[in-house]
Structure formats: C-alpha cells, structure tokens
Amino acid sequence: MTVNDYDYPSSERTDTSRQATPSSVYLALAKRASTTLVEPLPPKKQLLVLDINGTILYTHPFLGMFVRPGHGPFFDFIFKHFAVMVWSSADPGWVKQFCRVFGEHRSNLELEWSRMDIGLRPEDYFQDVLTLKDLERVWKVHPQFHAGNTILLDDTAAKAALQPFNHILIRTFDLDYDDVCYTGDNEFSKVQAYLDRLRYQDNVSHYMSKFPYDSDAPDLLAMAVPASTIATRFNFSLHGERELPPSSYDFKEGRVGSPPPS
Ligand SMILES: [Mg+2]
C-alpha cells in the first residue's frame, strides 16, 4: 500500500509510504527563478515551520528536555524576521510541554501543531508510521504563505517529501550520539546564516533547490559561532507538577549547572 493508493487529495494524504512525491504544480513553482532582492523582505513575510524533537531539543524520558546550544539568539532572530509556527509529530500534550522552551516568544507562535494535524488515519495515530508534513495543510490555514515563502526546519528528510525544496535538513540534536557530545553543537548559528540569505529571496523553493542548506558548507562554518556543549535543561510538567526553572547542562561532562545560558 502506498500513499497514492488512498483516494485522498494531496493535503489529506497519510504517511504510510516513503513513495510520496511532490505535485507537478509544486515542482513548476520551484522552477520559477528566484530574484535576489536588494533589501530583505519585511518581517513576517516568510513563514518558518519548526520541528521540535531533534531539531530544537532532545528529550530524555526521565531527565526532561535539553534545548540546543545557542537557542536564545536563534529564537530572537527568527521571531524578529519570520512568522513562526511549530509542527511536531508528537502528541498535543507533549507539544504543549515542548513549547515552554520558547519562553516570551511563545505567544508569537502562529500555530502550535501536533500529531493531530498530520492527517493520519485513526488506525495509524498510535503507530510508529512515517509522518509527512504536507505544507499545503498550513497554506490552507494561512493562505498568504506558499511554496515561495515557507521554510520547514526539520531533522528528518522524509517528512518533507511533498515539498522537498522548502526544507532545511538540520543535523539531529541527539545526546545519545557520541559526535554531538564530543564536538558540541552550533547548528543554530549556521541555520541563522542560511535563513538570513533566504530573507533576500522572493522564491525560497527555487533558491533552496539550487543552494540547499549544508551544515558542512565552508561559508556557514565561517559565520558560525564556536560549537558548544552547553544545553539548557527543562523539566517535564505533564501532570501539573511544579515547573522548575531551567538549568544549564554540560552534555560533554554530564554536569548540571546554573544559571542557564542563552
Ligand atoms: Mg525531528
């Protein structure tokens, strides 16, 4: 059974297949040459769709949520220049927890979307199925956004199968990966440098198809701040427990400290 076996329109497709492919309309739009503007687009004219787990933070079942180094300046940057929404394939209760990490910026999120918004069949909701993030669902709710001005930041390539040229494939933040713990992480500063270039593009899908984000690109490395091993740890508060203040956490040394870094 593939996605195309279901008699759903594109935005209603479920995600039981890795064979999902972009529509011809989408591909035609992504071919329309992007113009590099003299001035960046005004604030909020482009939409940034944020994945959470592996992109913004790492979750440990008992210890809580560990937010990627450099999130403070990154959040300040994206909320200043972009319309921002969350789209996680986790349950709504978890998404509510995750969104605490945005602090004062949270009220500026356009949407907080969860697994409920993926379009899964009921029998797939509790299964470990691939969850496609079809941006057409977002564009129905916010019709001012489209393939020309929407960017998905997600650490899983398959989730962007329907609009691959709107996708920044960020390196997964996972504290179980030895290389992350050893080298530290500075992905947010590199993504910020890339996003800053997108602000000058009138068709990001075309630009991103020609110049996809590459965590190892020399120019991004040159602009990036040094990698850090200091994350910020939040506790879970799933059942109304007290929300403890966040603390810093050196994931290379496995040490908790305070106060939290930005
Ligand atoms: Mg993820």
pLDDT of 159-194, one tens digit each?
Answer: 999 999 999 999 999 998 888 888 899 999 999 999
User: Which domains are delineated in the chain?
Assistant: 41-225 (3.40.50.1000)
- For ligand 1, the distance from its centroid to the CA atom of residue 36, given in whole angstroms, is 30
- For ligand 1, the distance from its centroid to the CA atom of residue 39, given in whole angstroms, is 32
- For ligand 1, the distance from its centroid to the CA atom of residue 248, given in whole angstroms, is 22
Residue 185 and residue 69 in contact, taking contact as beta carbons nearer than 8 Å: yes
- For ligand 1, the distance from its centroid to the CA atom of residue 53, given in whole angstroms, is 4
- For ligand 1, the distance from its centroid to the CA atom of residue 90, given in whole angstroms, is 9
- For ligand 1, the distance from its centroid to the CA atom of residue 55, given in whole angstroms, is 5
- For ligand 1, the distance from its centroid to the CA atom of residue 82, given in whole angstroms, is 20
- For ligand 1, the distance from its centroid to the CA atom of residue 50, given in whole angstroms, is 9
Q: State the pLDDT at residue 125.
A: 78
- For ligand 1, the distance from its centroid to the CA atom of residue 206, given in whole angstroms, is 24
- For ligand 1, the distance from its centroid to the CA atom of residue 44, given in whole angstroms, is 24
Q: For residue 140, how many other CB atoms are within 10 A of its CB?
A: 10
| C-alpha atoms less than 13 angstroms from C-alpha of 164 in its C-beta half-sphere | 15
Q: What percent of the chain has pLDDT over 70?
A: 89
Task: List pLDDT tens digits, range 195-251.
Answer: 999 999 999 999 999 999 999 998 888 888 999 999 999 988 777 677 788 999 998
Label residue 5 by pLDDT band (50, 70, 90).
very low
Residue 120 and residue 19 in contact, taking contact as beta carbons nearer than 8 Å: no
- For ligand 1, the distance from its centroid to the CA atom of residue 146, given in whole angstroms, is 22
Q: State the pLDDT at residue 237.
A: 77
- For ligand 1, the distance from its centroid to the CA atom of residue 22, given in whole angstroms, is 21
Answer yes or no: is pLDDT of 257 > 90: no
- For ligand 1, the distance from its centroid to the CA atom of residue 169, given in whole angstroms, is 10
- For ligand 1, the distance from its centroid to the CA atom of residue 229, given in whole angstroms, is 20
Over residues 63-70, the mean pLDDT reads: 93
Query: DSSP for 63-132?
Result: TEEEEPTTHHHHHHHHHHHSEEEEE-SS-HHHHHHHGGGGGGGGGG-S-EE-GGGS---GGGTTS-----
